[in-house]
Amino acid sequence: MVTLVSETKLTLAKLADIAGVSTSTASRALKDNPLIKQETRSRIQALAKEHNFSINAAASRLRTQKTHVIAVILNLIDNTEQSTTDPFLLKLVGELNQALNAKGYELLLSNSFMASDDWANYFIRSQRADGIIVIGQGKSTAKIDRAAQSGIPIVVWGDAKTEAPYPIIGGDNYLGGYTATQHLLSHGAKRILFLGDSEHAEMQERHKGYAQAHKDANVPIDAQCTCAIDITSKAAYQYINERIKANGLDFDGIVCVSDMVALGALKALKERYVGIPSDVGIVGYDDISLAELMHPSLTTVRQNTQQAAIEMVTQLLNQFENKPTESQVVETTLIARRSTQHSD
Amino acid sequence: MVTLVSETKLTLAKLADIAGVSTSTASRALKDNPLIKQETRSRIQALAKEHNFSINAAASRLRTQKTHVIAVILNLIDNTEQSTTDPFLLKLVGELNQALNAKGYELLLSNSFMASDDWANYFIRSQRADGIIVIGQGKSTAKIDRAAQSGIPIVVWGDAKTEAPYPIIGGDNYLGGYTATQHLLSHGAKRILFLGDSEHAEMQERHKGYAQAHKDANVPIDAQCTCAIDITSKAAYQYINERIKANGLDFDGIVCVSDMVALGALKALKERYVGIPSDVGIVGYDDISLAELMHPSLTTVRQNTQQAAIEMVTQLLNQFENKPTESQVVETTLIARRSTQHSD
DNA sequence: AAAAAATTTGCAAACGATTGCATTTTATTC
DNA sequence: GAATAAAATGCAATCGTTTGCAAATTTTTT
């Protein structure tokens, strides 16, 4: 298929030639540098458009030492299969893409399995990206700490209360855990399971909220009710199934660390004809789009991901200018639906 | 925070200096070029690791004219809000990331709203990426056609039967539509809705399958049963609600163009206490992770996304070597669950 | 109309890696 | 121990932009 593009690749130099100016003038004209006469600027910009010219990013990056690319790393947990399927993580990626684009940056997607372990090296020193956004603290923050240690611009989605030399953006996990639990308690629950992984910083905070809500309501708490499972729907499904098989229905509420976990639990309960919310109330986390589509619709804790994305980008860009940064907590609200309460 | 990295940036030249060889030797050694003595190679590689050295990607790209980056474009439909929330699209992105990494490429994520309309220019001519993978044909293929026209490497996820000068990878939409419909018919359905958008090539094929299945089963088809809606759960929910309100329950089966649509429909039906599958059987499309978590679990059509991702990458890389390419159909199978049939 | 100031433009040196070709070193052959 | 072949290394040009500074042009001032 013959193209209409000229044989030889169009470079800035050639464009300048056509325009009858030097490359420096052309370069400046294209970025609307006021050093260049307005008329010249418009003329060259028009010419560029006409000839389908685009600045060569590789050359530009080499020269300016800036890539205008941000690496987003899905920091998944190796053994579990939370994987790239989790709608919440991907939603965050989508929001980040928007937020980055708005600031003139592009998004390079990676997960923690590739790209070697030395992020600073692989992404920054190699000039593949200007900064890193890590989604999830994982079970260990070793890789993150290592990257931060070498002084590169970095921001993390996780539990903002964690003390760290880099900014962490996240929901108010304590509040989320507290509110979810309190909500169930106020609807009469007496024995509430906490379903999730306790090795994540985020989950630990939520568990603290869970505990405090019990204390405030004067409801005793039982260690048997804190259930450590992989944060997947499958694990939740299996756990609930086995627990009921072993103990019978020894609980009347569940606080889940993610909607996926909640859905797994919900499935197990429904299959055993446990009434929801009459026998067991259930609260999820994340408010993925399916939460409201469930039957019953799922009460859950929503974290403002759009706000989070914008905040993460802001904090990252601040680092480029050596401005101070700080961890930020984003809006976290309980969305009450039918899985915890009967019709309005 | 003081870093242990040397003040001045480490370049290949400096590394070579330290090693006491020329930059050419160092360069070759790092990429394990057999031209260099094995011993020298290992020595320099070790040195590189020791000093945390990474090749500067910008310089390398400029010199080699290769970026080893692939742009993945989510080609969303402007007016509807299918958006970045659709789990299926994001699953595909995840798979693509894996497949690309396996071949030594990185994934630059974009959506069709940004990056101007001239993809060839923006991504390829500017040397931001070596090739483009477009997810979704959209309602019009104008942008895709334009990009392809300028002769850049490109692959599209869509309906493989579409005639096009670029390879299209996709499920067998005709078969999917056919099987889904046939499945409902064989379970006794007599009046089946086709719920989805008919402007997409993929959807049209599915609809053909839907029609043919009716013909083969000698069940008359009614134009009233083909319902054009936005492919979102919300639109589906509203549509089903309104239809029932207006006509009563004038159908006993639904073939949906996505699981999201199916979930919306399901919600509407459940709220009206329509028995599933006793009164209405329902089939989704995509087999997102939540399909099996629904209650009842959702019968759906699964497209092998992993295979698709690998195939797309292969077809794209082929173009780099001027090898011939061709559209490919990936495995498409019906996953029968409870939304269409009672317990086994 | 010349001098000074302000505005535009151009020169040329980076940025850091890659690679064809020439050159040096080592191994082989007679 | 030459002469020849093979293996290992180095030279230097190149990829296409950007930008500090110098040079040329235009405008303003006296």
Task: Tell me what the pLDDT averaged over chain A comes to.
Answer: 90
pLDDT confidence of residue B80: 47
Cα distance between residue A127 and residue A65, in whole Å: 7
| Amino acid A295: pLDDT | 82
Q: Is the peptide bond before B34 cis (omega within 30 degrees of 0)?
A: no
Q: Which residue has the tokens 């001027």?
A: B322
Domain ranges of chain A: 12-55, 69-170+305-331, 173-303
Query: Tokens in use for A165?
Result: 């030399």
Q: Which of A84, A121, A233 sits opposite B293 (nearest CB)?
A: A233
Query: For B250, phi and psi rounded to 5 degrees?
Result: -100, 30
Q: How far apart are the first and last CA of chain B?
A: 64
Give every CB contact of residue A271 below 8 A, 6+ residues apart in sequence.
Answer: A241, B295
pLDDT tens for residues A18-60?
999 999 999 999 999 999 999 999 999 999 999 999 999 999 9
B6: pLDDT strictly greater than 70: no
Q: Class of A69-170+305-331 per CATH?
A: alpha beta
Look at residues A78, A107, A106 and name the one whose alpha carbon lies nearest to residue A90: A107
Neighbours of B52 (CB within 10 A): 15
The neighbouring-strand residues paired with B255 are B194, B283
Same fold? A69-170+305-331, A173-303: yes
Contacts of B114 by beta carbon, 8 Å cutoff, 6+ apart: A101
Q: Where are the alpha helices (DSSP H) in A70-136?
A: 87-102, 119
Instruction: Give me the A residues in range 19-48 that sit within 7 A (CB) of strand D.
Output: 23-24, 27-28, 30-31
Assign residue A112 a region (left: φ > 0; alpha: ψ between -120 and 50; beta: otherwise).
alpha
Contacts with A293 (C-beta within 8 Å, 6 or more apart), sequence order? B233, B237, B263, B264, B266, B267
| CATH number of this structure's domain B69-170+305-330, picked from the four choices 3.40.50.300, 3.40.1190.20, 3.40.50.2300, 3.40.50.970 | 3.40.50.2300
Q: Of the given ranges (A1-10, A39-48, A319-328, B233-242), which has the lowest mean pLDDT?
A: A1-10
* Nearest CB neighbour to A122, from listed B54, B107, B151: B54
What's the Å distance between residue B92 CA and nucleotide C20 C1'? 42
Return the DSSP state at B41.
Answer: H
Does residue B81 have a pLDDT over 60?
no
Homologous superfamily (CATH) of B173-303 is Response regulator (3.40.50.2300)
Nearby residues of B249 by Cβ (< 8 Å), 6 or more positions away: B274, B279, B280
pLDDT in tens, B132-170: 999 988 777 889 999 999 899 999 999 999 999 999 999
Is residue B114 very low, low, confident or very high in pLDDT (cuts 50, 70, 90)? low
- Mean pLDDT over A328-333 rounds to 96
B315 pLDDT more than 70: yes
Query: What band does B77 get if pLDDT is binned at 50, 70 and 90?
Result: low
Average of pLDDT values for A149-167? 93
Please tell me if residue A87 touches chain B, with a CB cutoff of 8 Å: yes
Query: Which bases on strand D have an atom closer than 7 Å to a protein beta carbon?
Result: 7-12, 14-20
User: What is the pLDDT at residue A83?
Assistant: 57
pTM, to two decimals: 0.90
Confidence of residue A87 (pLDDT cuts 50, 70, 90): confident
**Would an 8 Å CB–CB cutoff place B96 in contact with chain A?**
no
Q: What is the full DSSP assignment across A18-29?
A: HHTS-HHHHHHH
Q: What are the pLDDT digits (tens) for B223-241?
A: 999 999 988 889 999 999 9
Looking at the predicted structure, is the pLDDT value of residue B4 above 50? no
Q: Which residues contact B223 (CB under 8 A, 6 or more apart)?
A: none
Query: What pLDDT, on a 0 to 100 scale, did the predictor assign at position A289?
Result: 83
- Non-local (6+) Cβ contacts of B295 within 8 A are A266, A267, A270, A271, A295
